[in-house]
């Protein structure tokens, strides 16, 4: 098949992309690793020195780290719960034939294309504002006390915004998986007297399980790094209530200029993300073999 010459050409064609990506991945990561062992603050130039694992010790024993870790887990977990459950239900509805299906599909996927800063500010101001916001008006119309979203439930507010952005992604992928389901199988089950619920739990859900796993893993990768939504709405506050790991490291690096500490945090974040990535890569790799 492939001659020596074409093989050499192929290698040549691949090399720019491979070399650049390799540099992009290795150089900054090695630098982060190196900085993480230094006392290095941009506000105190000239005091850099090797301090071993001290940065890690500070970062990992800082109460802020545990708060941020908890917030990160809540943010990822809460968003996943809303988007996966909502996505399955939405996919089931969108899979049914009805008038204007194509248009509804477009409406449902729209939030995915809205830039994070816009969705965060629109939700925070125009929907969730405790006095003039639309939610406050709805609450008052029904005789309830409006919720001051970002004061009372700051983390949950951010979860809602992020879930709104990612629900389309989950829906679209689950819908794609659902549409590849064999209609005859469902029909056969129906004829054998399986009700709607058993059809869903024994046929549809197992069929979608792979797609659900893909959604969970990919979203987790992106949700671990939620940043813009926090920056423009709460700046991590009140207190540390909406600070996730990403925001904590950002604050340490670009607000406190603590290069060493932020680098140690960055390495911790890389390790956390890699645990998820490990499973995702295996899953996709399996798919590639087929």
Q: Which of 96, 194, 240, 241 binds other proteins (CB under 8 A)?
A: 96
Least distance to other proteins, CB of residue 149, Å:
14
Q: In this structure, what are the phi and psi dihedrals at residue 241, rounded to the nearest 5 degrees?
A: -65, -25
Q: Does 281 bind other proteins (CB under 8 A)?
A: yes
Nearer to other proteins, 81 or 284 (CB): 284
Task: Tell me which stretch binds other proteins (CB under 8 A): 57-65, 76-84, 96-104, 196-204.
Answer: 96-104
The correct pick among 211, 236, 242, 243 for binding other proteins (CB under 8 A) is 211
Helix (H) or strand (E) holding 22, with range, is: helix 4-35
User: In whole angstroms, how close is the CB of 71 to other proteins at the nearest point?
Assistant: 14
Query: Quick check: 256 binds other proteins (CB under 8 A)?
Result: no
Residue with tokens 């005859």: 184
- Contacts (CB under 8 A) with other proteins, residues 29-48: 29, 31-32, 35
Between CA 276 and CA 80 the distance in angstroms is 14
221 forms part of the interface with other proteins (CB under 8 A): yes
Which part of the chain contacts other proteins (CB under 8 A), choosing from 62-70, 150-158, 198-206, 273-281?
273-281
Which residue from 154, 224, 242, 243 is in contact with other proteins, where contact means CB under 8 A? 224
Instruction: Give the Cβ contact number of residue 102 at 10 Å.
Output: 6
Residue position matching structure tokens 């869903």: 200
Residue 244: closest CA among 70, 128, 52: 70
Q: Site map for other proteins, 114-133, x if CB under 8 A?
A: xxxxxx-xxxxxxx----x-
What b/e readout covers 23-53, taking b as 16+ CB neighbours within 10 angstroms? eeeeeeeeebeebbbbbbbeeeeeeeeeeee
Which residues, 53 to 82, sit near other proteins by CB under 8 A? none
CA atoms within 13 A on the CB side of 241: 16
């Amino acid at each position: 098949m492939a001659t020596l010459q074409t093989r050499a050409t192929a290698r040549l064609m691949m090399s720019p992309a491979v070399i650049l990506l390799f540099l992009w991945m290795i150089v900054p990561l090695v630098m982060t690793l190196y900085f993480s062992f230094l006392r290095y603050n941009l506000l105190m130039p000239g005091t850099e020195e090797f301090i071993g694992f001290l940065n890690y010790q500070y970062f990992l024993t800082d109460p802020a780290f545990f708060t941020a870790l908890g917030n990160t887990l809540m943010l990822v977990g809460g968003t996943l719960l809303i988007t996966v459950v909502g996505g399955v239900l939405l996919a089931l509805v969108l899979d049914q034939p009805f008038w204007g299906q194509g248009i509804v599909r477009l409406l449902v996927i729209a939030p995915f294309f809205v830039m994070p800063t816009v969705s965060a500010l629109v939700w925070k101001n125009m929907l969730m504002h405790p006095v003039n916001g639309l939610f406050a008006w709805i609450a008052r119309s029904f005789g309830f006390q409006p919720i001051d979203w970002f004061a009372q439930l700051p983390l949950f507010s951010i979860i809602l915004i992020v879930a709104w952005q990612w629900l389309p992604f989950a829906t679209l992928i689950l819908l794609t998986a659902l549409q590849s389901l064999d209609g005859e199988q469902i029909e056969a089950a129906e004829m054998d007297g399986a009700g709607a619920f058993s059809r869903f739990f024994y046929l549809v859900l197992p069929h979608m399980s792979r797609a659900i796993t893909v959604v969970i893993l990919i979203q987790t990768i992106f949700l671990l790094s939620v940043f813009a939504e926090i920056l423009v709405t709460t700046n991590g506050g009140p207190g540390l209530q909406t600070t996730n790991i990403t925001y904590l490291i950002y604050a340490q690096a670009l607000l406190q200029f603590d290069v060493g500490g932020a680098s140690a945090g960055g390495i911790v974040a890389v390790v956390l993300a890699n645990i998820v990535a490990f499973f995702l890569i295996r899953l996709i790799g399996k798919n590639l073999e087929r």
